[in-house]
Amino acid sequence: MKLKIDIKKRNGNMRAHTATHLLHGELNKIIKNTKQAGSLVDNDYIRFDFTCKKALSNKEIQQIEENINNIIYEGLSVNKKEMSLEQALQAGAKAFFEEKYGDVVRVISIGNGEKKTISIELCGGTHVDNTSQIGIFKIISQEAVSSGVRRIIAYTGTKVYNYIKEQDKLLQDISDKLDCTSKQIIEKLNKSQKELEQIKGEYESMKQNIVKSILENIDGESKEGFDKIINISKYEELNKINFKDILNIAKQVFDGENIIIYNNDGNFVIFTKNINAKEFAKSKGLKGGGTNNIIQGKDHKIKQI
């Protein structure tokens, strides 16, 4: 039997593993007393869980990325050394006390000797020899995992390159769709948004005029002291409009009248001038809320009136 190492994958694991140590160090600068709550290191892929009460801001994410990439470009040594657990802890190495360690431990330190140590942790995993071998680091997302625990997903090396290609393709597709250059996308979107808001305003105005026109010419049953009892489900144009939007217009159209408006779904409103709307609704067993002059609710018993 022969064992063969997948060099590309191993290198990806090394890049991601060393970058995880750098990420842990940068998070400690921003969040006091944060602790690692779990991690997964794969081929240029990092999933890192850490204790934190709130989401990192975009500015903090950008700062972490910038700091880690500066360490990568600086080309600092990644040193692996075995020593006693006591010596490691005295040197300031981070240890995860839920794990069991032997008398001799492996310590990973990143920096230029004793004068500049970026990170020092107990770790038995595989690592690069120099931070420049990581290539590049990119945080892809952050999310909540559980109460007080958040998760960062990040890429290194080739996965960052592939991610950038995907983003470039997406940017190009958007540019083609908007018929502009990538630098003009924001300008184009702002212009389109303004045009959309104008169209929406014109639509709302037109919709109100249609509803008002229908209500002004609508026939309704006169009953129980009400000038009109109207089932708006009979009107196709009104069926397409939200019931609450119709009520706002109806209140203006039927000002000073006693009116009941309802639909086949049981939505209803009672506008009154000289009838106590609350008492009337109560006498009919209708479920709704409001004042003595306006009652609104949803109750299929309204169709029996």
Assess contact for 143 and 150: CB atoms under 8 A. Answer: yes
Q: Which two tokens stand for residue 200?
A: 């929406």
List of residues 6+ apart from 229 with CB closer than 8 A = 220, 221, 222, 223, 259, 260, 262, 305
- pLDDT, one tens digit per residue, over 58-101 is 999 999 999 999 999 999 999 999 988 888 888 888 876 556 77
Is pTM beyond 0.75? Reply is no
- Where does 85-148 show beta strands of DSSP type E? 104-112, 116-122, 137-146
The reported pLDDT for the residue numbered 242 is 83
Assess contact for 69 and 132: CB atoms under 8 A. Answer: no
Who has greater pLDDT, 1 or 226?
A: 226
Count of Cβ atoms closer than 10 Å to residue 77 Cβ: 14
The reported pLDDT for the residue numbered 114 is 58
18-27, 198-207, 268-277: which is most confident: 18-27
- pLDDT, one tens digit per residue, over 148-189 is 999 999 999 999 999 999 999 999 999 999 999 989 999 999
Assess contact for 20 and 151: CB atoms under 8 A. Answer: no
- Tokens 């004068």 correspond to 115
Q: How are beta strands 149-156 and 137-146 bridged, if at all? A: antiparallel
Q: How far apart are CA 93 and CA 86, in angstroms?
A: 10
Q: Which domains does the chain have, with CATH numbers?
A: 7-177 (3.30.980.10), 208-304 (3.10.310)
| Angle at CA of residue 209, ends 206 and 212, nearest 5° | 150
The reported pLDDT for the residue numbered 43 is 95
Percent pLDDT > 90 in the chain is 47
| Alpha-carbon dihedral 231, 233, 235, 237, rounded to 10 degrees | 130
- pLDDT, one tens digit per residue, over 224-247 is 888 888 888 888 888 888 888 888
196 phi and psi, to 5 degrees? -65, -40
Q: Which two tokens stand for residue 203?
A: 């639509």
- Tokens 């709307």 correspond to 277
Who has greater pLDDT, 102 or 65?
A: 65
Percent pLDDT > 70 in the chain is 98
Q: What is the mean pLDDT of the segment spanning 249-267?
A: 87
Q: What is the mean pLDDT of the segment spanning 34-43?
A: 92
Containing 80, the helix (H) or strand (E) segment is strand 77-84
Q: What is the mean pLDDT of the segment spanning 202-222?
A: 84
Q: What is the mean pLDDT of the chain?
A: 89
The reported pLDDT for the residue numbered 225 is 85
Choose among 270, 162, 183, 288: nearest CA to 224: 270
Q: How are beta strands 77-84 and 104-112 bridged, if at all? A: antiparallel
Q: What is the mean pLDDT of the segment spanning 105-112?
A: 88
